[in-house]
Amino acid sequence: MKNKLGFKELAFWVSLVLVVAAVAGVITINWYHKNKSEKKRQYWQKYYALEYFYTYDKESDEFTISDPQVIEAMQRWDREGCSFIYAQKGWDVTNDDISRVLHDEDNPEQIKWTAFEAAYYLLAKSSYERNYIGKLSYEEMASLLKYESDYSLEELEEALDVFIYGGENVGDDNQYGSIFDVPRELQVACCKILDSTTNIPSEEFYFGWKILISIGDEIK
């Protein structure tokens, strides 16, 4: 005689199948969203890299800093800091002014969450909602960035200092001695911070940069 499943056994196996299906569905959804976030991150990384410093060679699949005008502008940026870029659009600000806006008033060594957020979406392999990031403590931001990206919050902050003050004006304890030394992903993240999270209207930094690289040999 064939063994027949009792009601309890049948219910157990049906429940087990439903649980497995649910877990598989959650895993699939999480993978889809993470993959979608990563593709979006890669797109914006490439976009900002090409808008600022880099040219892209399709055959070699490599980004290079090769435009003489870009190199010249970056060298002066290293000497004078980001105020030089804003000045191209008529903004009379100092590097210290920009630094104060981007850092916590009570803890000047720590960047504000708005600056962190601008960089996070260009660095992290998974994304979180704005209202979630806005509630994080400094320590939680550090942990999140380290977990979700290839960079630490300390690396981001040191890169940002170089972009604010210029490589020639940061201390010897900064691991980046020049804008050129900063990894490409951090470079574009810092540009995004300067362009969107200061008290200067959005895109003024970007347009200042475009003006600067268009004047070429006139840069003094």
Report the percent of the chain where pLDDT is more than 90: 51
What average pLDDT does this structure show over 68-83?
95
What's the rounded Cα separation, in Å, for the pair 20 and 212?
A: 58
Res 57: pLDDT: 85
Q: In 3-state terms, the chain is what percent helix, strand and coil (to 5)?
A: 65, 5, 30
What average pLDDT does this structure show over 27-44?
60
Sign of the torsion angle spanned by Cα atoms 171, 199, 40, 82: negative
What's the rounded Cα separation, in Å, for the pair 188 and 52?
A: 8
Res 28: pLDDT: 44
Res 216: pLDDT: 57
Give residue limits of the domains in the chain: 62-218
Least confident of 6-20, 49-63, 101-115: 6-20
Res 134: pLDDT: 78
More confident residue, 5 or 92: 92
Note the pTM of the prediction, 2 decimals.
Answer: 0.79
The yes-or-no verdict on residue 115 having pLDDT over 90 is: yes
The yes-or-no verdict on residue 208 having pLDDT over 70 is: yes
What's the rounded Cα separation, in Å, for the pair 53 and 48?
A: 8
Res 217: pLDDT: 47
